Structure 1
Amino acid sequence: MTQTLFPSPAWPTVPVKGETAEYPVHRVFCVGRNYAAHAAEMGVEVDREAPFYFTKSALTILPTGQTYPYPPGTGNFHYEMEFVVAIGKPAFRVSVDEALEAVFGYATGLDMTRRDLQLAARAKQRPWDLGKDVEGSSVIAPITRAADFGTIGDQKVQLSVDGELRQDARLSDLIWSVAELVADLSKFYHLEPGDLIYTGTPAGVGAVTPGQSIHGTIDGLDPVNLTVGAPE
């Protein structure tokens, strides 16, 4: 066995609804501008030729129900409600018709964002890492197996802050479907079990401050919750 200079963190895991074994997370892919109304509120147009992606470390995974400190370096910390896809089988260069065979299940998630840093980077045509790859920013609820969730259709997607509704959309509003996203990503990566895809957020994103609580729901899935703690 290889000796290491210091202990290496274990892969984060996500509970699977109704099961004892958990899902280990290896990679996190995120889809940008996958709801037209959200793209419009961000002042950009949707690229309908192909989806685009950014990645986050698996170590940003945070289980639902936690209180997590307001992150350093930002004064504009935003919530983004997301439908999360968990890959369960290898997928490389698969067709749209084959893509859903690789899906293990689905979950509700939050892509928490240092919006001021993201927009500053975007204005300078720089990567979004400081805005997006934030510790504790990939919040996720337990995964529901795809067979138990059923067909992706008109399920409602909602998020509230301190009980006030902020985001309200449907999965049918996705520009790029789950099958299209899996097929497209598989052109560039050997997708494997342990890969998560955060499929984008609806309109209504906004800032939260310490002490506020976020509650997100998607019909047929466990809700996701986060309380924003005091800065460290």
Structure 2
Amino acid sequence: MKLLRVGPAGAERPALLDGAGVLRDLSELVDDIDGRLLADDAALARVREAAAVGSLPELAADGLRTGAPLGRIGKIVCIGLNYTDHAAETGAKAPAEPVIFMKAPDTVVGPDDTVLVPRNSRKMDWEVELAIVIGRTARYLSSHEEALAAVAGYATSHDVSEREFQTERGGQWDKGKNCETFNPLGPWLVTADEIPDPQALALKLWVNGELQQNGSTADQIFPVAEVVRYVSQFMTLYPGDVINTGTPAGVAMGRPEPKPYLRAGDVVELEVEGLGRQRQTLEQA
């Protein structure tokens, strides 16, 4: 299923995109698309059945905002330097173990919402990523099979970064990763049954119409199953948690000088194969 949330920010309603590309209203069946729903097999079965028999009312999509496809996100765990080519372009060695950092859930916005350039920003960068959405409580997982069983679905994620804040202002990476609007998510949460191989997905990103990133999840150093298993050794994952799995080469930081960092007025478009496309216009905070 392709699950999504539509409507004004803070007042989104749950919806489904059916096989014909028609937007369907789920608000009579479920309160929201969130961890509680993803952990409820019976509720998900009711949604699937209603979609299959065509009983869901149609929603007029014209002019309707698409929000992030997941509400009440618990935490966002991020994996850094998870593509060999991206590590190389930044001058870093490929890590022996996954690099983990966190983003606050309040960085999440809709896939086409405005992204704000922070005040005093000089090195704002783009990163297209595959996001994992957790659907089962996961702690100390012992196998890749257990890890994949904990995955509810996947989404397109934009891990926006401010490199000067991240690496030149002291401390950890948090200052460059947690500015407001720094994690557009969606448009859809695609359930795991529709993505038989998460290691065979193309990722692309354009800035002002020019292709900047063109990679594949096949090139991840630590694949989805290992990422989920590994993270569960250090923290408990709950339904509604999100894991951003890293970005391929092609970011501004990896380019020759003068590096083409983002500025107000730029337009960023990105997609992960099968998970939908985003488009953001940048404005000054």
TM-score range, shorter chain: 0.7 to 0.9
In the alignment, which residue of structure 1 is the partner of 2:158? 110
Q: Contact 2:204 / 2:272 at 8 angstroms: preserved in 1?
A: yes
TM-score (norm: length of structure 1): 0.88
In the alignment, which residue of structure 2 is the partner of 1:5? none
Larger radius of gyration: 2
Structure 1 residues 84 and 193 mapped into 2: Cα distance closer, same or farther (>3 Å)? same
Q: Point out where structure 1 has 5 or more consecutive residues left out of the alignment.
A: 1-10
In the alignment, which residue of structure 2 is the partner of 1:149? 195
* Per-residue deviation, residues 11-51 of structure 1 (Å, max 9, x unmatched): 99896753733233110010010001111111110112x10
Q: Which amino acid aligns with 2:201?
A: Q
TM-score (norm: length of structure 2): 0.72
Helix, strand or coil for the counterpart of 1:116? helix
- State the percentage of identical aligned residues: 32
Q: Which amino acid aligns with 1:190?
A: T
Report the number of matched residues: 218
In the alignment, which residue of structure 1 is the partner of 2:266? 212
Q: Contact 1:56 / 1:133 at 8 angstroms: preserved in 2?
A: yes
> Are positions 1:56 and 2:56 aligned together?
no
Structure number with greater CO (CA < 8 Å, separation at least 6) is: 1
1:205: Cα distance to partner? Answer: 0.6
Q: Contact 1:213 / 1:227 at 8 angstroms: preserved in 2?
A: yes
1:64: Cα distance to partner? Answer: 0.6
Per residue, is there more strand in 1 or in 2?
1
Q: How does 1:124-139 map to 2 (within 5 A)?
A: 126-139=171-184
User: What is the RMSD of the two structures over their aligned residues, measured on CA atoms?
Assistant: 2.0
Structure 1 residues 15 and 100 mapped into 2: Cα distance closer, same or farther (>3 Å)? farther
> Are positions 1:191 and 2:202 aligned together?
no
Helix, strand or coil for the counterpart of 1:93? coil
Structure 1 residues 38 and 190 mapped into 2: Cα distance closer, same or farther (>3 Å)? same
Q: Contact 1:17 / 1:143 at 8 angstroms: preserved in 2?
A: no
Match of 2:33 among 22, 36, 51: 22
CA distance in 2: counterparts of 1:76 and 1:14, whole angstroms: 36
1:179: Cα distance to partner? Answer: 0.5
CA distance in 1: counterparts of 2:115 and 2:230, whole angstroms: 33
Q: Point out where structure 2 has 5 or more consecutive residues left out of the alignment.
A: 1-9, 18-23, 27-31, 35-70, 253-260
1:70: Cα distance to partner? Answer: 1.3
Q: Which runs of 4+ in 1 moved over 4 A?
A: 11-17
* Per-residue deviation, residues 68-117 of structure 1 (Å, max 9, x unmatched): 32112311110111000000111111122210000010011101111111
